[in-house]
Amino acid sequence: MAKITVEGFGVIEAPVGTKLVLALEDAGIDILHRCGGRGLCTTCRVEALAGETEPISELERETLEKHEIDDASRLSCQMRVLGDMTVRVARRASDEGLEPGPRPAD
C-alpha cells in the first residue's frame, strides 16, 4: 500500500497500480472527473507535489496544453499510484456544485 498525502485532507492509502483518481474518490475525496477517466476534460487534475509519478503520456500532455494548464498539473485519471506521494486536488465536486462524473474504469 502507498500513502498519499492529500493537501487539506490528510493521508490516504491505496494499492500500488491504482489510478490516482479512483484512490482519491474511494477515500471519500469528491474530485471531479467529468469525462469518465478518458483524459479529455482536465477536471480531475492535481498538482503532484512530492513522490514518484509515472511519466506524462502524450494524451495527457496534449489535453493539458489544449486547455492551457500549467506544467505542474497532472490528470489523476491518467496516473497510477507508484508509491508514496503528496498531491493537491484542483477541483472538488462539492466546491463546484456538480456531481463528480461517471466513475472512471480501472
- Assigned domain for 72 exists: yes
N- to C-terminal Cα separation, the chain: 17
Amino acid 72: pLDDT: 85
- Assigned domain for 101 exists: no
DSSP conformational letter for 77: G
Amino acid 106: pLDDT: 86
Rounded to an integer, the average pLDDT of 59-72 is 91
- Assigned domain for 105 exists: no
| Residue 99 reports pLDDT greater than 90 | no
| Residue 70 reports pLDDT greater than 90 | no
Rounded to an integer, the average pLDDT of 59-81 is 93
| Residue 13 reports pLDDT greater than 90 | yes
Amino acid 17: pLDDT: 97
CATH number at residue 8: 3.10.20.30
Residue-number span of the structural domain to which 6 is assigned: 2-96
Amino acid 71: pLDDT: 78
- Assigned domain for 103 exists: no
pTM of the full predicted structure? Answer: 0.93
Amino acid 37: pLDDT: 92
Strands 45-51 and 10-14, by their bridges, are unpaired
With cut-offs at 50, 70 and 90, classify the pLDDT of residue 100.
confident
The string over 58-75, giving b where at least 16 C-beta atoms fall within 10 Å of a residue's C-beta and e elsewhere, is eebeebbeeeeeeeebbb
Amino acid 83: pLDDT: 97
